[in-house]
């Protein structure tokens, strides 16, 4: 799993993103200046404890922040445009065609009274371009598979302004549904399509959700803690699936998780978040070999090593900062074993300390 | 199949409930030491003591209570529901009941249609514009409906739409009763009969008579329905799968109509079912205020006369309707929500 | 979203936590203009009820010359503001000396004053009925839900039977009892019997879902007895929907109570009670609409006010709508 860094333009760049929430108890400063770069065709894992802001970052990215949230500062640059300034309608279109997200708990995130088919189909019917391409391909090739369409999107095919009849749309969608379920390795797709979410197992539901995301042929595929609600064996299967799909889809993946081992499994690079900031970003290998930020170091020490069992488990002293009145300066400083004077004054910025390795810490 | 088992179980329960209700009412109306004698409904002040004795014997009021009950049971199974009192010319109780029942059905159906047609959109608007002006306005309307005294509202409607309108020379709605034009009896439902037999003038007249009482009924219940729909929509809109639907890039319209509504309307449907059943008991007050010849109006008279025969019929039918409605609603619920299994 | 819910200070004890909760509830309450309006109006009427006998001389309800007791007396005149319509044997119309704010009722009494006297009667009985039904029903429901099994089934069936009962028949029977006579108390009793089943269902549902929650298991593990668990813990947590229901029922009970009076169940035709006052106008709706109009409006306002409060409470106490 090599990574391509610095040679290409980032597909997505988040600059100094701050997000606050109005709540009864005060202003919650959830994101405190997040900096992140996502390059084409890479898998970037965003790792951190609960409450560090990873999910909020994703929500801001796709434009689905709740009503009481606002962005006081920062930018999200995607394909040359700042997403924080875009209208809801624009974000909606992006969600339909470019930014796909898969959520954590497939039980609650799938509509219980609609069949898998209807929930999958509606994703296809949104995409006129895709349907037209599929229809064209079908005419030229005689048949069309979803995987063909995956390749097609990269080329900006000239839009033929054809309108497809509703029956046609339904037929093609149904076909693509079956295809895509095969892609995510769901057995017997025809039968599954007719089922309701509660009739499937957790792993199958998760695969269906992944299918719904892939159906958009997204540029960015976001996986928000998708393995957290699954047991370990299913988790392994899903991760395996993701690795397989990686070659087929031309997307970059943002993998949000709190589990470092999951990150290690699939990611090219890892970004560690704490208290609303990104504190370290580097390749997977580097992170495990030479963690620079104190938080990362403590995290890695806390993972029990199966080869060298020890008597006591290491943990990080203290608790996660509360977000209404967060600690000034570097938000980790109250728990940091190497805390220095200026740690409590100003927040350290992310700096590139060595090639492809950024840290936000005053030690460096 | 599980669901058939379930239905059968509930039907057995229905029979049990009917028995229990009949016993309790029988006792209350005939055995309980009230101020009204059980035979009071069947005599008038002109009768001699002997005639009164005869009436008592004829109805069996002189026998011990439990014996009366068994005779009554036996009579029922033979289709004899007893005779009504003087107030209804002593006709068989079930005949009186079912004659008027069709009017009650008419009223109940119209009431429900209006309630649903206004109440559900009101609730949806309230939920979508939560805590903004449309929400407050529809909230007040809904709660006002719910807080209006039925007797008062009916009269106000009559006052305005009949009296004042005719005073002001506007076309006015009839104030009370059902249509007095004749119609041939096909289904028993006057409005339909008019349409079916081509007597459009009658149907129109009936319709006009129906407007005010139906509206009076629905105004009161639509508030309740709107609140339930609102609460249920709000609950649904918080769910994760709605976030998921939005994250797919679906338009807000699709999210609401396709994903949210189907889930949110389930409680509303069940509630409407129960409403309808309750209305079939004859919305007594509305029928009283509008002199609508339905079952509720008759029951009211029977209550004041202490006519146990009629009230027994009424109570049993009412109990049967409620329990059946509960069952139907539960079954419908199972169809709407694929997760429910019995 | 759970990530954002950090507490600003950890409450130190159970009561501190509850207090903070209540403060938050009040804050949410205040933000809603409708609920505030409802609360103010309700409080106004409660105040009115408490002071009614001071504002208006209760003897005005009795016909002049009679002392004590409420006897049906002859219907003499019907007054409107400025003119009398005499319904006695000689029908005459002439202008009278006094003017009445809202006109008079069928007995010639000042309608406005009668309404003021009627408010405490209605509120008092509504309160009694609602609270009694609530306590009774909640208690039974809690037991049914918590213990389950045969008792639960039995209670459910009994409740079902009561649900299927036509309320009017029950009211009649009680109203005709010679021992109790046609008094307001028997009527109240009849209404309580009709009104308690929803509470049983409500409480039972709440208890059932609370029972499954982990804290109950934890309490059992520490050796807490069942009664203690039920009353001290489960009840406290399950009580919110009951509170909402009570407030909303209050409005409903007032309406039903006065409706029954309107239909004729009142002990005396001259009793100042909103439904009873309206009943006078039944036959004269077109020529003397004020007799029904004003008591009805007052009834509507009272009921609306309490329903607004109850509705607002429901919104505010719904744990899922709170931030």
The pLDDT confidence band at residue A301, using thresholds 50, 70 and 90, is: confident
Q: Specify the pLDDT at position C78.
A: 47
Is A23 close to C323, i.e. CB distance below 8 A?
yes
CB of A211 less than 8 A from some CB of C: no
Is A103 close to B254, i.e. CB distance below 8 A?
no
Q: Give the global pTM.
A: 0.76
**Model confidence pLDDT, tens digit, residues B99-153:** 788 888 888 888 888 888 988 888 888 888 887 888 888 888 888 888 888 888 8
**Model confidence pLDDT, tens digit, residues B233-244:** 888 888 888 989
Q: Does residue B172 register a pLDDT over 70?
A: no
**Model confidence pLDDT, tens digit, residues A325-341:** 888 888 888 888 888 88
Mean pLDDT over the full length of chain C: 72
Neighboring chain B residues of A101 at a CB cutoff of 8 Å: 247
Is C8 close to A325, i.e. CB distance below 8 A?
yes
The pLDDT confidence band at residue C76, using thresholds 50, 70 and 90, is: very low
**Model confidence pLDDT, tens digit, residues C203-224:** 887 777 777 777 777 877 887 7
Is A126 close to B337, i.e. CB distance below 8 A?
no
Give which of B25, B142, B152 to mutate to test C binding, by max C Cβ within 10 Å: B152
Report the relative pairing of strands A252-257 and A43-47 from DSSP bridges. parallel
CA atoms within 13 A on the CB side of A298: 15
Spatial distance between the Cα atoms of A56 and A17, rounded to a whole number of angstroms: 11
Is B259 close to A216, i.e. CB distance below 8 A?
no
Stretch A84-107: mean pLDDT, rounded?
A: 87
CB of B169 less than 8 A from some CB of C: no
Q: Does residue B230 register a pLDDT over 80?
A: yes
CB of B240 less than 8 A from some CB of C: no
The pLDDT confidence band at residue A270, using thresholds 50, 70 and 90, is: very high
Residue with tokens 């029904």: C292
Q: Does residue A191 register a pLDDT over 60?
A: yes
Range ranked top by mean pLDDT from A227-241, A300-314, C18-32, C266-280: A227-241
Report the CATH architecture of A12-98+216-359. Answer: 3-Layer(aba) Sandwich (3.40)
| Centroid of chain to Cα A244 | 17
Cα nearest neighbour of A320 on chain C: C6
CB of B241 less than 8 A from some CB of C: no
Q: Which two tokens stand for residue B295?
A: 């079952």
Is A50 close to C2, i.e. CB distance below 8 A?
yes
CB of A101 less than 8 A from some CB of B: yes
Neighboring chain C residues of B323 at a CB cutoff of 8 Å: 160, 164
CB of A324 less than 8 A from some CB of C: yes
Spatial distance between the Cα atoms of C199 and C142, rounded to a whole number of angstroms: 10
Q: Specify the pLDDT at position A258.
A: 86
Neighboring chain C residues of A55 at a CB cutoff of 8 Å: 1, 3
CB of A24 less than 8 A from some CB of C: yes
Neighboring chain B residues of A100 at a CB cutoff of 8 Å: 247
Phi-psi region of B113 (alpha: psi -120 to 50; beta: other; left: phi over 0): alpha
Instruction: Specify the DSSP class assigned to residue B255.
Output: I
Is B151 close to C275, i.e. CB distance below 8 A?
yes
Phi first, then psi: give them for residue A220, nearest 5 degrees. -125, 125
Neighbouring residues of A78: CB distance < 8 A, sequence distance ≥ 6: A11, A12, A13, A94, A98, A220
The pLDDT confidence band at residue B78, using thresholds 50, 70 and 90, is: confident
**Model confidence pLDDT, tens digit, residues A201-222:** 888 888 899 889 888 888 888 9
Neighboring chain C residues of B316 at a CB cutoff of 8 Å: none
CB of A93 less than 8 A from some CB of B: yes
Is B25 close to C163, i.e. CB distance below 8 A?
no
Is A324 close to C323, i.e. CB distance below 8 A?
no
Q: Does residue A53 register a pLDDT over 70?
A: yes
Return the partners of chain C (3 or more C-beta pairs < 8 Å): A, B
Q: Specify the pLDDT at position C108.
A: 62
Give which of A61, A105, A113 to mutate to test B binding, by max B Cβ within 10 Å: A113
Cα nearest neighbour of A222 on chain B: B247
Spatial distance between the Cα atoms of A132 and C75, rounded to a whole number of angstroms: 85
Q: Specify the pLDDT at position B316.
A: 82
Percent of chain B predicted with pLDDT > 70? 83
The alpha-carbon gap from C289 to the nearest alpha carbon of chain B, in Å, equals: 8
Q: Which two tokens stand for residue A165?
A: 């009849």
Q: Dmax over Cα atoms in chain A, in whole Å?
A: 70
The verdict on ipTM greater than 0.85 is no
Give which of B130, B241, B337 to mutate to test A binding, by max A Cβ within 10 Å: B241
Stretch C255-284: mean pLDDT, rounded?
A: 78
Q: Specify the pLDDT at position C131.
A: 92
The pLDDT confidence band at residue A44, using thresholds 50, 70 and 90, is: very high
Q: Specify the pLDDT at position B15.
A: 85
| Centroid of chain to Cα C50 | 16
Q: Specify the pLDDT at position C106.
A: 64
CB of B64 less than 8 A from some CB of C: no
The alpha-carbon gap from A232 to the nearest alpha carbon of chain C, in Å, equals: 24
Spatial distance between the Cα atoms of B214 and B283, rounded to a whole number of angstroms: 10
What is residue A255's three-state secondary structure?
strand
Phi first, then psi: give them for residue A276, nearest 5 degrees. 90, 10
The pLDDT confidence band at residue B203, using thresholds 50, 70 and 90, is: confident
Nearest to C299, CA basis, from C268, C246, C264, C260: C260
CB of A123 less than 8 A from some CB of B: yes
Report the relative pairing of strands A81-82 and A69-78 from DSSP bridges. antiparallel
Spatial distance between the Cα atoms of B278 and B296, rounded to a whole number of angstroms: 11
Stretch A349-363: mean pLDDT, rounded?
A: 84
Q: Alpha helix (H) ranges present in A83-127?
A: 88-97, 106-109, 116-125
The angle at the Cα of C40, spanning C38 to C45, to the nearest 5 degrees, equals: 95
Q: How many other C-beta atoms are found inside a 10 Å radius of the C-beta of residue C69?
A: 7
Give which of B135, B303, B304, B314 to mutate to test C binding, by max C Cβ within 10 Å: B303
Residue with tokens 């009994």: C158
**Model confidence pLDDT, tens digit, residues B252-272:** 888 888 888 888 888 788 778
Is B227 close to C311, i.e. CB distance below 8 A?
yes
Torsion of the alpha carbons at B242, B244, B248 and B249, rounded to the nearest 10: 40
Stretch A271-286: mean pLDDT, rounded?
A: 89
Q: Specify the pLDDT at position C132.
A: 92
Is B17 close to C321, i.e. CB distance below 8 A?
no
Whether B152 contacts C296, CB under 8 Å: yes
Q: Does residue A82 register a pLDDT over 80?
A: yes
Stretch C65-73: mean pLDDT, rounded?
A: 42
Q: Specify the pLDDT at position A46.
A: 92
Return the partners of chain A (3 or more C-beta pairs < 8 Å): B, C
Is B311 close to C169, i.e. CB distance below 8 A?
yes
**Model confidence pLDDT, tens digit, residues C146-159:** 777 788 878 877 87
Pairs across B and C, CB distance < 8 A: 137
Chain B, 269 to 328: residues with Cβ < 8 Å from chain C are: 281, 284-285, 288, 299-300, 303-304, 306, 311, 314-315, 318-319, 322-323
Spatial distance between the Cα atoms of C73 and C62, rounded to a whole number of angstroms: 9
Collect contacts of A163-167 with beta carbons under 8 A, ≥24 apart. Answer: A164/A128, A164/A131, A164/A132, A164/A135
CB of A67 less than 8 A from some CB of C: no
The pLDDT confidence band at residue B282, using thresholds 50, 70 and 90, is: low
Q: Does residue B98 register a pLDDT over 60?
A: yes
Spatial distance between the Cα atoms of A248 and A246, rounded to a whole number of angstroms: 5
CA atoms within 13 A on the CB side of A284: 20
Is A28 close to C8, i.e. CB distance below 8 A?
no
Stretch A175-203: mean pLDDT, rounded?
A: 87
Q: Specify the pLDDT at position C88.
A: 33
Cross-chain CB nearest to B244 (options A94, A96, A109): A109
The pLDDT confidence band at residue C318, using thresholds 50, 70 and 90, is: low
Q: Does residue A315 register a pLDDT over 70?
A: yes
Range ranked top by mean pLDDT from A334-343, B28-37, C59-68, C258-267: A334-343
Is C4 close to A25, i.e. CB distance below 8 A?
no
Q: Which two tokens stand for residue C216?
A: 């109950």
Percent of chain B predicted with pLDDT > 90? 0
Cα nearest neighbour of B317 on chain C: C164
Cross-chain CB nearest to C3 (options A26, A56, A325): A56
Is A111 close to B245, i.e. CB distance below 8 A?
yes
The pLDDT confidence band at residue A157, using thresholds 50, 70 and 90, is: low
Percent of chain C predicted with pLDDT > 70? 68
Is A95 close to B248, i.e. CB distance below 8 A?
yes
Spatial distance between the Cα atoms of C303 and C42, rounded to a whole number of angstroms: 9
Is C2 close to A21, i.e. CB distance below 8 A?
no
- Start and end residues for every CATH 3.40.50.300 domain found in chain A: 12-98+216-359
Cross-chain CB nearest to B149 (options C33, C168, C259): C259
Cross-chain CB nearest to B323 (options C164, C170, C252): C164
Pairs across A and C, CB distance < 8 A: 35
The alpha-carbon gap from A304 to the nearest alpha carbon of chain C, in Å, equals: 26
Is C3 close to A68, i.e. CB distance below 8 A?
no
């Amino acid at each position: 799993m090599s990574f391509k860094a610095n040679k290409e333009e980032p597909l997505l760049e988040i600059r100094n993103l701050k997000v606050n929430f109005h709540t009864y108890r005060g202003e919650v400063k959830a994101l405190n200046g997040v900096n992140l770069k996502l390059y084409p065709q890479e898998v970037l894992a965003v790792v951190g404890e609960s409450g560090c802001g990873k999910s909020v970052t994703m929500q801001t990215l796709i434009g689905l922040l709740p009503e009481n949230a606002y962005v006081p500062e920062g930018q999200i640059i995607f394909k040359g445009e700042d997403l924080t300034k875009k209208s809801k309608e624009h974000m909606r279109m992006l969600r339909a065609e470019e930014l796909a997200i898969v959520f954590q708990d497939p039980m609650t995130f799938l509509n219980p009274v609609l069949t898998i088919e209807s929930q999958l189909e509606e994703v296809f019917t949104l995409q006129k371009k895709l349907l037209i391409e599929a229809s064209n391909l079908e005419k030229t090739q005689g048949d069309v598979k979803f995987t063909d369409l995956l390749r097609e999107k990269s080329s900006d095919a000239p839009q033929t302004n054809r309108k497809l009849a509703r029956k046609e749309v339904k037929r093609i969608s149904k076909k693509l549904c079956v295809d895509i379920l095969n892609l995510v390795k769901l057995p017997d797709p025809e039968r599954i399509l007719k089922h309701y979410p509660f009739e499937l197992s957790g792993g199958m539901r998760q695969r269906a959700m992944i299918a719904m995301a892939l159906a958009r042929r997204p540029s960015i595929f976001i996986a928000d803690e998708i393995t957290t609600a699954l047991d370990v064996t299913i988790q392994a299967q899903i991760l395996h699936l993701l690795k397989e799909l990686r070659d087929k889809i031309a997307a970059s993946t943002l993998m949000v998780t709190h589990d470092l081992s999951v990150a290690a499994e699939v990611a090219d690079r890892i970004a560690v978040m704490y208290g609303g900031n990104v504190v370290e970003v580097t390749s997977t290998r580097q992170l495990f070999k030479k963690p620079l930020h104190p938080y990362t170091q403590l995290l890695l020490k806390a993972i029990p090593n199966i080869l060298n069992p020890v008597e006591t488990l290491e943990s990080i002293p203290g608790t996660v900062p509360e977000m209404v009145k967060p600690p000034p300066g570097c938000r980790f400083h109250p728990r940091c074993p190497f805390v220095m004077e200026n740690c409590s004054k100003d927040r350290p910025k992310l700096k590139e300390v060595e090639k492809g390795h950024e840290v936000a810490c005053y030690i460096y | 199949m599980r669901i058939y088992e379930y239905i059968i179980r509930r039907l057995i329960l229905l029979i049990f409930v009917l028995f229990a209700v009949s016993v309790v009412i029988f006792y209350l109306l005939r055995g309980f030491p009230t101020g009204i004698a059980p035979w009071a409904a069947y005599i008038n002040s002109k009768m001699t003591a002997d005639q009164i004795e005869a009436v008592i014997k004829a109805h069996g009021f002189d026998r011990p209570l439990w014996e009366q009950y068994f005779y009554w049971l036996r009579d029922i199974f033979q289709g004899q529901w007893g005779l009504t009192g003087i107030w209804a010319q002593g006709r068989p109780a079930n005949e009186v009941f079912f004659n008027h029942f069709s009017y009650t059905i008419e009223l109940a159906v119209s009431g429900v249609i209006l309630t649903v047609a206004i109440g559900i959109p009101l609730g949806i608007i309230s939920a979508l514009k939560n805590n903004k002006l449309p929400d407050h306005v529809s909230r007040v309307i809904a709660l006002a409906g719910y807080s209006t005294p039925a007797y008062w509202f009916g009269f106000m409607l009559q006052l305005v739409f009949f009296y004042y309108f005719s005073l002001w020379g506007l076309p006015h709605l009839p104030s009370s009763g059902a249509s007095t034009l004749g119609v041939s009896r096909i289904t028993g439902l006057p409005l339909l009969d008019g349409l079916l037999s081509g007597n459009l003038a009658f149907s129109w007249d009936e319709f006009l008579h129906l407007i005010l009482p139906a509206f009076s009924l629905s105004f009161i219940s639509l508030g309740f329905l709107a609140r339930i729909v609102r609460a249920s929509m709000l609950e649904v809109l918080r769910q994760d799968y709605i976030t998921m639907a939005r994250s797919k890039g679906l338009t807000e319209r699709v999210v609401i109509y396709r994903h949210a509504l189907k889930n949110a309307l389930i409680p509303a449907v069940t509630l409407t079912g129960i409403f309808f059943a309750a209305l079939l008991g004859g919305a007594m007050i509305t029928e009283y205020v509008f002199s609508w010849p339905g079952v509720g109006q008759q029951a009211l008279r029977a209550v004041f006369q202490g006519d146990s025969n009629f009230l027994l019929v009424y109570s049993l039918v009412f109990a049967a309707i409620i329990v059946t409605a509960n069952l139907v609603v539960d079954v419908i619920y199972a169809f709407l929500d694929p997760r429910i299994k019995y | 979203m759970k990530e954002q819910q950090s507490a600003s200070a950890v409450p130190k004890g159970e009561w501190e936590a509850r207090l903070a909760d209540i403060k938050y509830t009040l804050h949410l309450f205040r933000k809603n203009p409708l609920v505030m309006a409802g609360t103010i109006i309700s409080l106004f009427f409660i105040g009115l009820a408490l002071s009614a006998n001071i504002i208006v001389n209760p003897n005005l309800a009795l016909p002049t010359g009679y002392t004590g007791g409420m006897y049906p007396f002859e219907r003499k005149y019907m007054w409107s503001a400025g003119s009398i319509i005499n319904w006695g044997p000689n029908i005459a119309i002439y202008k009278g000396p006094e003017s009445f704010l809202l006109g008079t009722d069928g007995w010639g009494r000042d309608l406005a004053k009668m309404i003021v006297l009627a408010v405490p009667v209605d509120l008092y009985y509504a309160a009694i009925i609602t609270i009694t039904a609530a306590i009774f029903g909640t208690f039974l429901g809690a037991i049914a839900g918590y213990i389950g099994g045969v008792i639960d089934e039995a209670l459910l069936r009994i409740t079902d039977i009561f649900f299927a009962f036509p309320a009017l028949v029950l009211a009649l029977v009680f109203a005709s009892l010679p021992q109790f006579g046609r008094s307001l108390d028997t009527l109240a009793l009849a209404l309580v019997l009709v009104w308690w089943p929803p509470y049983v269902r409500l409480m039972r549902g709440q208890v059932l879902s609370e029972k499954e929650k982990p804290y109950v298991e934890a309490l059992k593990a520490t050796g807490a007895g069942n009664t203690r668990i039920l009353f001290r813990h489960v009840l406290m947590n399950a009580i919110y929907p009951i509170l909402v229901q009570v407030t909303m029922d209050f409005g409903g009970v007032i309406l039903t109570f006065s409706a029954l009076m309107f239909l004729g169940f009142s002990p005396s035709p001259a009793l100042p009670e909103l439904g009873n006052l309206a009943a006078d106008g039944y036959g004269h709706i077109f020529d003397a609409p004020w007799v029904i109009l004003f008591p009805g409006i007052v009834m509507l306002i009272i009921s609306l006010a309490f329903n607004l409060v109850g509705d607002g409470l429901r919104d505010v106490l719904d744990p899922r709508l709170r931030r």
